[in-house]
């Protein structure tokens, strides 16, 4: 799968990239802010977007909203966020296909993604 990770924290994006590349053998692109993530998502055909909830320029939810508005055939979106309030989770689940709570377990991250995608399709 071709996956875009949008994450402003370089450590986290590095770890997620390594996990997805080595465990799931996916092809991974990284964006470090919301604007970049939206541009990349619209320019390239990814199979999955992993969006952080809170990012500079544009928040993850805003990226998702604009992406789904502008892209004729949007790809699934999973939020990867430290936010855990009912309100936030509801918003994530309304906008995207799923939500993974930070801190995530690197060993089960790929399984979690597969599960969400299976449920979504």
The site for another protein (CB under 8 A) is made up of 9, 11-12, 15-16, 18-19, 22-23, 54, 82-88, 90, 102-107
Query: Smallest distance, Å, CB 101 to another protein?
Result: 8
**Nearest CB to another protein, comparing residues 1 and 12:** 12
Query: Smallest distance, Å, CB 73 to another protein?
Result: 31
Q: What is the 8-class DSSP label of residue 84?
A: -
Q: How far apart are CA 101 and CA 21, in angstroms?
A: 20
**Residue 118: Cβ-neighbour burial (10 angstroms; 0-12, 13-18, 19+):** exposed
**Nearest CB to another protein, comparing residues 107 and 121:** 107
Q: Which segments of 44-85 does DSSP mark as H helices, in order?
A: 60-70
Do the Cβ atoms of 79 and 92 come closer than 8 Å?
A: yes
**Nearest CB to another protein, comparing residues 29 and 88:** 88
Query: Smallest distance, Å, CB 121 to another protein?
Result: 25
């Amino acid at each position: 799968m071709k996956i875009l990770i949008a994450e402003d924290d370089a450590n986290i994006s590095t770890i997620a990239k390594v996990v997805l590349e080595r465990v799931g053998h996916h092809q991974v692109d990284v964006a470090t802010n919301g604007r970049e993530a939206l541009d990349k998502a619209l320019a390239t055909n990814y199979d999955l977007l992993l969006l952080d909830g809170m990012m500079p320029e544009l928040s993850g939810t805003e990226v998702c909203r604009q992406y789904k508005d502008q892209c004729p055939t949007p790809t699934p979106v999973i939020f990867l966020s430290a936010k855990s309030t009912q309100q936030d989770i509801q918003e994530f689940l309304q906008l995207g296909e799923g939500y993974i709570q930070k801190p995530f377990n690197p060993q089960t991250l790929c399984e979690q993604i597969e599960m969400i995608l299976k449920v979504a399709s």
